[in-house]
Structure 1
Amino acid sequence: MTKLHRIHPAWLVAAVAFVALVGAAGFRATPSVLLRPLHDEFGWSLGTISAAVSVNLLLYGLTAPFAAALMDRFGIRRVVMFALLLVAAGSGLTVFMTASWQLVLCWGVLVGLGTGSMALAFVATVTNRWFVKRRGLVTGVLTAGGAAGQLIFLPVLAALSESSGWRTAALTVAVAALAVVPLVFWRLRDRPADLGVTAYGGVVDDVRPAGSAARNALSALGRAARTRPFWLLAGGFAICGATTNGLIGTHFIPAAHDHGMAETTAAGLLALVGLFDIVGTIASGWLTDRMDSRLLLAVYYALRGLSLLVLPSLFAATAHPSMVVFILFYGLDWVATVPPTVALCREYFGASGAVVFGWVFASHQIGAAIAATAAGLVRDRLGEYDLAWYVAGSLAIVAALMSLALLAGKRLRPVAPGIGLAFAGKAS
């Protein structure tokens, strides 16, 4: 038997999922690099361009629970291939746009739907189906795929935008997404039973739901929304989205440029966030397998809030050591919240955990969309971003308190079938 055949198929599925997430991450790095070139060429305000980003972030989140349900119904491979094609189409078509509504259609709608179908609910679906052991670690590694994509694409896109124009950068993203499609078709499989094996580390309760994907997604939301932990998780994750994709991911480069820093330098710093994001997320997955996820979330959010409150004093024309320290720390904390949040959704909501996490992730993107637009408006009105950083830092402290509320209500009891576990006290 060859060495390849001794590898459990779950690891091959995880590897292909990782590559797909990297391929889709190209667009996640695009807005922060192209905000200024689009503003310079078309004269659109940062608020207008940020609105297109907000539509993308919103659809990125709202698509996730329905995509998870579609994966339950029609399979992971079909959904992921279609999603990659949407990303390629949305990014490629931007080269023909002449009006801001076309930016909203391409960046916002097409790419939002595509990337939303490969959002973190995709990660939860793969780990829940294919792994019993090492779930937290694999969740961390797959989540790091997005960070790896940012690390790969940000410097490349910034350099291409500066040397060859933003259209070349947009086409590069489209080609990258298309390049992953054959690999997904070749190797990605929907369930262990398709290969005649069990999940890695044991057997999972893999029930194929009947009925439409939309009905299943909405039913899972209806059951989860009657519980207190859902709202605490969703509220904290909304703040998580506001302080990452919405604010830093979209506005860090323009804010640094306001202080005289070259865009390529700022893009390099944001790429460095991606590098340490990989380390932080994998470490968080390892910790999630060993520590209480509620405590981890409280620590992550509190440290993030404190760092954001300091950020306005760190901007300068050069990447001085204090800013580099902030970047390293923020990278470690960027999506470290994902593994414990996925674990808690699985703990509270059982077999519905991946779909419920899709809804929790939707709140993440709603927060990101609000922050992306609000920060752009703050910059347009006040001429600086300082207020946006201070508000975001304060909200992160609130998210830490919400996580501590989860810790205070840790005792669990079984509830209705299909919802798994929930707090003894439900939301009123």
Structure 2
Amino acid sequence: MTSKDAGSATTEWRRHWPLVAASALGMSLAALLSSVFGVMLEPLQQEFGWTRAQISSGPAIVSVMGLFLATPAGYLIDRFGTRPCGIVVVLTSCAAIASMGAIGSLWHWWAAWALFGIAGAFTSTVWLAPVSTIFQNGRGLAIAVTVSGTGISTALAPGIAEYFVQNQGWRSGFLALAALWCVPILPLILAFVPRRARLEARDSEQAARNVAPALTGLTPRQGFASPTLYLLFFASLLSAMTGVALVLNLVPVLTDSGLSRANAIAIIGSMGVASIIGRICGGILIDRFDARRIGIAAALVSLGLPLALLLFPGNPSAALFGVIAFGATGGVKMNAIVYLVSARLGTRSFGLFYSMISITMSIAQGIGPLLANHVYDLTGSYRLVIWSLVPGFAGAALLLVALGSGRAAPSGDVVPSN
């Protein structure tokens, strides 16, 4: 990064840091249910007698909805802007999480997750689109800080949920989480996330100052014909499918291995802190070095989680090491992929292209835990699930290798770097 670029990045941050802060909190809301799923799993199983696979069928509904709604949601974001869509996401998420505290049957559980699936179709595109469009020289760090909002939920939500489970009951836990996250976020979205008209006005202002226009790159038809989109899609899918399958069930995975429930929740909290630090450090590196190579390295380091759990089962220190390794690097992989979407495909249709990538998270959060808990119901162990992480992370690294070195031309076409 040149000194001129550094100065431009500083100017971007000085003007638009409230947008990044609001978007990061939006991301923390998107990750809230994933962060507490493992905490709520056993209380739900005890009260209703459902199998773990039946409980995991709730997130699977979000997965199915994401397959059909994510791309139209990306189009709506590009068409109407992020603020109105963000308001819908916050209100719908709040209603869905709160309603989980009032369920009385499996149908109610499914209905609550279906409501959350509406918000899930827009997330995380709705929070990343304005950040990726407005930031140019500081885009990597801006994306990193935005996505690190998921670490806020991972660090704080499991402990809060466990407190209510032990003292007030799991129903109160869902209601408390809805209030603590959703209520403060809405005014921040209203205050700091731009309207579409204001976003276009900023692009015009940048053009008037001889700065590269914000909205350049491939058209939808060009993007869907590009191998780059599909390599990024499957790299994200492999990494997310295997990682989320274990992480969403990490509390029962660790307790089944011999750790106490309190130790398991504390270890998961450390993953949230490691995720925030890793994403921010990764964002700084992505602004300075090749995002593809950083993503490859992160995928390989993430192997520390399955290897630690397989080689040292029931060992708190090994589990802590593996969880921190995954937390610190798991987010960096996603940061690199988001950056590569905007850098290789452009920002003209970023909402549409990134919605394709976000489908992988919908699939992972729905199908991954369902398959993992079905394996547990059949075998009484998560060992096969842990083993699946090894080819998943290694395969993601290989797909990023296949992407090859390159840079995006102003037209959006990728040309070889010299």
Range of TM-score over shorter length: 0.7 to 0.9
The whole-number CA distance in structure 2 between the counterparts of 1:308 and 1:90 is: 32
Residue 24 of structure 1 and its aligned partner are, at CA, apart by: 4.0
Displacement after TM superposition at 1:67 (Å): 3.1
Report the Cα offset of residue 357 of structure 1: 1.7
Match of 1:265 in 2: 263
Q: Select which of 79, 97, 111 maps to 1:105.
A: 111
Partner-residue secondary structure (3-state), 1:315: coil
Alignment correspondent of 1:154 = 158
Q: Does 1:322 align with 2:321?
A: no
Partner of 1:36: 42
Query: 2:86–2:127: 8 Å Cα contact kept in structure 1?
Result: no
Say if 1:63 and 1:405 are closer, same or farther in 2 by CA, change over 3 A: same
Higher alpha-carbon deviation: 37-46 or 266-275: 266-275
Cα distance in 1 for residues equivalent to 2:173 and 2:308: 33
Alignment of 1:140-179 (within 5 A): 140-175=144-179, 176-179=181-184
Secondary structure of 2:399's match?
helix
1:291 counterpart residue number: 289
Partner residue in 1 for 2:413: 421
Q: Secondary structure at the match of 2:249?
A: helix
Q: Superposition pairs for residues 319-358 of structure 1, below 5 Å?
A: 320-350=316-346, 351-358=348-355
Structure 2 CA distance for aligned equivalents of residues 101 and 330 of structure 1:
34
Q: Does 1:402 align with 2:399?
A: yes
Pairwise CA distance, 1:90: 0.8
Instruction: For residue 237 of structure 1, report the CA deviation from its aligned partner.
Output: 0.1
Which residues in structure 2 correspond to 1:19-418 (within 5 Å)? 19-59=25-65, 63-107=69-113, 109-119=114-124, 121-175=125-179, 176-190=181-195, 191-192=198-199, 198=205, 203=211, 205=213, 220=220, 223-248=222-247, 250-316=248-314, 320-350=316-346, 351-407=348-404, 410-411=405-406
Q: Is the 8 A contact 1:148 1:274 kept in 2?
A: yes
Deviation, 1:23, is 3.7
1:189 is paired with a residue whose SS is coil
CA apart distance, 1:25: 3.3
- Structure 2 distance, partners of 1:203, 1:129, is 13
**1:91/1:173 contact within 8 Å kept:** yes
Q: Label 1:385 to 1:147 Cα distance change in 2 as closer, same or farther (>3 A).
A: same
- Residue type of the alignment partner of 1:241: A
Over 3 Å counting, the alpha-carbon distance change for 1:314 and 1:67 in structure 2 is farther
How many angstroms does 1:155 deviate by? 0.8
Q: With structure 1 as the length reference, what TM-score do the two structures score?
A: 0.85
C-alpha distance in structure 2 between counterparts of 1:179 and 1:412, whole Å: 40
Q: Would the aligned equivalents of 2:40 and 2:170 in 1 still touch at CA under 8 Å? A: yes
Separation in 2, partners of 1:368, 1:90: 16
Distance 1:414 1:359, change over 3 A: same
Q: Tell me the residue number matched to 2:7.
A: none
Q: For the structure 1 residues 375 and 202, does the alpha-carbon distance in structure 2 shift closer, same or farther, using more than 3 Å as the test?
A: farther
Relative distance call for 1:113 and 1:413 in structure 2 (3 A) is closer
Give, in whole Å, the separation in 2 of the partners of 1:60 and 1:170: 23
Give the alignment partner of residue 16 of structure 2, picking from 10, 32, 57: 10
Answer whether contact 1:304 1:330 (CA < 8 A) is retained: yes
Shift of 1:157: 0.9
- Larger mean Cα displacement after TM superposition, 179-188 or 54-63: 54-63
Give the 3-state SS of the residue equivalent to 1:289 in structure 2: helix
**What are the Cα deviations for residues 164-204 of structure 1, in whole angstroms up to 9, with x where unaligned?**
11101110122121332122223322344557984699746
Checking the alignment, whether the CA contact within 8 Å between 2:101 and 2:171 is kept in structure 1 is yes
Q: Gapped runs of 5+ residues in structure 1?
A: 209-215
Distance 2:127 2:210 in 1: 19
C-alpha spacing 1:402/1:207, structure 2 compared with 1 (3 Å): closer
- For residues 143 and 210 of structure 2, the distance between their equivalents in structure 1, rounded to whole angstroms, comes to 17
| Structure 1 CA distance for aligned equivalents of residues 406 and 395 of structure 2 | 22
The 1-side partners of 2:206 and 2:168 are apart by 47
Counterparts in 2 of 1:261 and 1:412: CA distance versus 1, 3 Å: closer
Could you report, residue by residue, the CA deviation over 1:218-265 in whole angstroms, capped at 9, with x for unpaired residues?
x83x543322222211111001211333321x1111112223433332
